[in-house]
Amino acid sequence: MREGCSVMVNEIAALSGNVSMDELYELTTAYAAIDAVSGHEQELVRRLRDDLAPMVDDVFVDQFGNIAATCYGVDRDTSLMIAAHSDEIGCLVKSIEANGMLRIAPVGGVSELLLVGRHVRVGGRRGVIGNKAGHISSPEERRTAPRIRDLYVDLGFDNAAEVHEAGISVGDSVTYDQPVVRLANANRIAGKAVDNRIACAMIVLLARALAGHSLPATVHFVVTVQEEVGLRGARMITHRLQPSAAIAVDTMPAGGTPDVSDTQDLTMRIGHGPVITLASQSGGGGALAQPGMVRFLDHCADLAGVATQRGLFYGGNSDAAAMHLVGAGLPVGILNIARRYSHSPAEMLDLNDAIGAFAMLIAAALTFTRDTDLSFLGADQA
């Protein structure tokens, strides 16, 4: 190994080692405990802004809640954006009935199957989603999930006046009331909003690890809003920052369970390393990996000594699908952490995968320059 490369490998290892698995778990848990349904990310954005501010040269929050925290590099005009989204799926209060029950409407990819009988928070106040007693349910009702329009939230009140007195209003957010916990295998965690609070924690810890460090190019640590409802914040902030390249950091569904085929559905597995995603697709939109950014992420993995997976994400997207369409086209890499039980109150992932992704992001920030080859053909074929 060349001396310069050896020095870089040692530097990446030293900076990556400043973050422990326990620290990553604790910060993820703290962020997941802050409810942030799409369009209602204010409290989490405020916390993330405050956590990032002491470690960067500049930070701002735009009018929709996107955060951009910047560390200027030796080359201020070349920039790498590393981005995660802050929002989570959930519901909104649609109406308040005379008997105090709340009708709800979904925000993002909410499944009726996962709502019935759940503990929830409405504007931070605890309630449950009611369900008809099995004793009086028909056989058909016991076999099927009610439509969201037929569900209701019970806060324990008996009339609408009590609901209003508690400060609950139409438009308030509804989230799962399920903390992130460590499982019997302590390397693995599960809870609500693991998608994408794990990456929010990584962004903050990355900024801390690189604070005061000389970077070859400018790095924007970005947290976007409204990813779960159409990647909206990513488009806004990418247009504003106009970075040279970007890495979208997110989670993605994984196989490895009895109900998922490892060959026909999802090949990615938790605990097998971070995923360099090559394609995503949902509806009419998606992203096909830009070859230069795939090469760059592979190089970062090599420098960090991280084993990675490669995967396709059909049926879903990440902010990369919006970012790469900005301006004349932006080279975007997609770095995912595999997780089980997507969009449920028990999203599960392996912290080792996140630690590996973190080391790759350290390598990216330390090595990205205006000379990084992001060409479509590659330098040896241009």
Residues annotated as part of the active site = 227
Residue with tokens 């009590």: 162
Tell me the sheet residues that pair with 189: 182, 349
Angle at 251 between CA 268 and CA 55, to 5 degrees: 135
The Cα 344–Cα 118 span in angstroms is: 11
The Cα 363–Cα 300 span in angstroms is: 5
Give the Cβ contact number of residue 317 at 10 Å.
Answer: 23
Closest CA to 155 of 197, 91, 108, 103: 103
Largest CA distance in the chain: 75
- Specify the 3-state DSSP secondary structure of 330: coil
Query: Residue 145: which residues within 8 A CB-CB, separation 6 or more?
Result: 112, 113, 115, 116
Q: Residue 183: left (phi > 0), alpha (psi -120 to 50), or beta?
A: beta
The Cα 34–Cα 201 span in angstroms is: 13
Q: Where are the alpha helices (DSSP H) in 211-249?
A: 232-241
The Cα 128–Cα 114 span in angstroms is: 13
